[in-house]
């Protein structure tokens, strides 16, 4: 069973413009902007609720990021996925496969914050879900 919501990701066209709303208008203190060239994105986390809390994540795809730019063209800016923290992502993957869920990864991928798998929205009521195991 997932432990907690780790983050909720929002795709935006321009990180600085988005921060002008989330930071300056709404008043959330963001973390530093991170360039993640391996994933062709720039991101900023907006931590809420203290160390055990859940975060918003703003994601700006770089021009080379085909799939996220396609998402922006088709749906516009907005909610993209929800990331749930799990204790053991390998065990979660096995269990989900057994139960016939539409897992998008045959083995966990290395994400910025740990090891993760994605579930296709078709088995989770239209929601792209990430399951993340963080390092100890």
Contact 33, 17 (CB under 8 A): no
x-marked contacts with a copy of itself along 15-34 as a string, rule CB under 8 A: --xx--xx-xxxxxx-----
Distance of alpha carbon 131 from alpha carbon 87, whole angstroms: 10
Residue written as token pair 């996925």 = 81
Task: Name the minimum Å distance from CB 76 to a copy of itself.
Answer: 5
Chain CA centroid to CA 131, Å: 9
Q: Which stretch binds a copy of itself (CB under 8 A): 35-43, 62-70, 98-106, 108-116?
A: 98-106
57 forms beta bridges with 9, 45
DSSP string, 43-59: EEEEE-SSTTS-EEEEE
x-marked contacts with a copy of itself along 43-82 as a string, rule CB under 8 A: -----xxx-xxxxx-x----------------xxxxx--x
Contact 21, 27 (CB under 8 A): no
Q: Is 123 in the site for a copy of itself (CB under 8 A)?
A: yes
Identify which of residues 38 and 53 has a Cβ nearer to a copy of itself in the complex. Answer: 53
Per CB under 8 A, residues contacting a copy of itself are: 1-5, 8, 10-12, 17-18, 21-22, 24-29, 48-50, 52-56, 58, 75-79, 82, 84, 95-96, 99-101, 121, 123-127, 129
């Amino acid at each position: 069973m997932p432990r907690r919501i780790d983050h909720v990701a929002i795709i935006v066209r321009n990180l600085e413009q988005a921060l002008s709303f989330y930071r300056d208008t709404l008043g959330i203190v963001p973390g530093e902007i991170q360039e993640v060239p391996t994933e062709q994105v720039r991101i900023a986390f907006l931590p809420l609720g203290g160390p055990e809390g859940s975060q918003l994540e703003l994601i700006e795809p770089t021009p080379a990021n085909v799939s996220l730019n396609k998402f922006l063209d088709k749906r516009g800016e907005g909610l993209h996925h929800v990331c749930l923290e799990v204790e053991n992502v390998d065990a979660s993957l096995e269990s989900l496969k057994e139960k016939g869920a539409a897992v998008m990864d045959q083995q966990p991928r290395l994400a910025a914050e740990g090891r993760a798998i994605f579930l296709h929205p078709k088995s989770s009521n239209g929601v792209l879900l990430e399951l993340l195991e963080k390092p100890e």
